[in-house]
Amino acid sequence: MNTLDSTVLNFSTSSLLLMNAILAVVMFSIALDLKPRDFGRLAAAPKPVVTGLISQFVVLPVLTYLLILVVQPRASIALGLILVAACPGGNISNFITHRAGGNAALSVSMTAFATVGAILITPLNIAFWGRLYAPSREILNTVQIDPVQVAITVSLMLILPLILGMVLNARYPELADRVRRPMQNLSMLICLAFVVLALAANWGFFLSFAQCVGVLVVVHNALALAGGYGTATLAGLSSYDRRAITIETGIQNSGLGAGADLWLFQRPWRHGGGGALWGIWHAVSGIVLARIMARTEATR
């Protein structure tokens, strides 16, 4: 009998290389909106950024672990949720924050800091929280992680595109202005195309298992949004900043989650399909929430 834990999705080596290239393009397009002064905001006004990073890298993993303890899912699904929770904000969070009437500058700064911090924090969160849950610990115990290979892959996928985009924006601002919108549109289109192709290649898998996984993805996303809102509220932040942190926590970089799956397990999106389903759902929930937030602000 075919089970979720024994299912390996249909991805070729060329598909994995393509996924890495897509993530690099996404990071480059994000970096075109970044300037050194964006990072200077941390020193000038650290509280919102620090609150947001705590929400992403501490509060969300804790909530995810509590959800796993309550639901007791199979190892593959649990590890899929942990993978997503360990990732920084997604590349569409800045756009959605702007549409929600939130602090887009804070969102961009959080994306930048979280993405750089993910180089160390994401693998640590995966290892720590994954090993606390006995079924997923069994998977992690079979993994041999090559830290040098992980560092090289992360550098090529995240750091190099980030540096190139920021250098282009700083030294050739007119060129950056011309290519910014096309690059951002291209990154969105190729991410969407990759997800569609992945679904098409593994449609039987999703028909068999996506229903049970999908419910958890929706609940998990709702917890992430609530965790971001609650953390920002407890920190006494303004509604303007609170919207940014809520969305930044609720929209995770599921593409990076698939990449982390590749780095650690060499079997992308095996773990419950959470990354792929999250990538679809978080865009839907984020856009709907942005419209609600914007409408609420307009009626005040």
Does 110 reside within a domain?
yes
Query: What value does the mean pLDDT take over residues 167-172?
Result: 87
pLDDT band at 78 (very low <50, low <70, confident <90, very high): confident
β-partners of residue 89 are: 252
Give how many domains the chain has, as a whole number: 1
Structure tokens at 144: 């041999």
β-partners of residue 252 are: 89
The boundaries of the domain holding residue 128 are 13-298
pLDDT value of residue 2: 46
User: How much of the chain exceeds pLDDT 90, in percent?
Assistant: 16
For the cut 70, the answer to whether the pLDDT of residue 13 exceeds it is: no
The enclosing domain of 114 has a CATH number of 1.20.1530.20
Does 6 reside within a domain?
no
pLDDT value of residue 245: 93
Lowest mean pLDDT among 4-8, 66-70, 133-137: 4-8
Query: What value does the mean pLDDT take over residues 160-181?
Result: 85
pLDDT band at 231 (very low <50, low <70, confident <90, very high): very high
Does 1 reside within a domain?
no
- C-alpha distance from residue 2 to each of 8, 130, 138 (Å): 11, 24, 20
- C-alpha distance from residue 268 to each of 4, 27, 226, 278 (Å): 14, 20, 28, 14
Structure tokens at 127: 């290892």
Does 249 reside within a domain?
yes
Does 8 reside within a domain?
no
Does 143 reside within a domain?
yes
**Sign, CA torsion 275/278/283/289:** negative
Burial 140-151 (b: 16+ CB within 10 A, else e): beeeeeeeeebe
Residues in CB range of 150: below 8 A, 6 or more apart = 123, 263, 264
Does 7 reside within a domain?
no
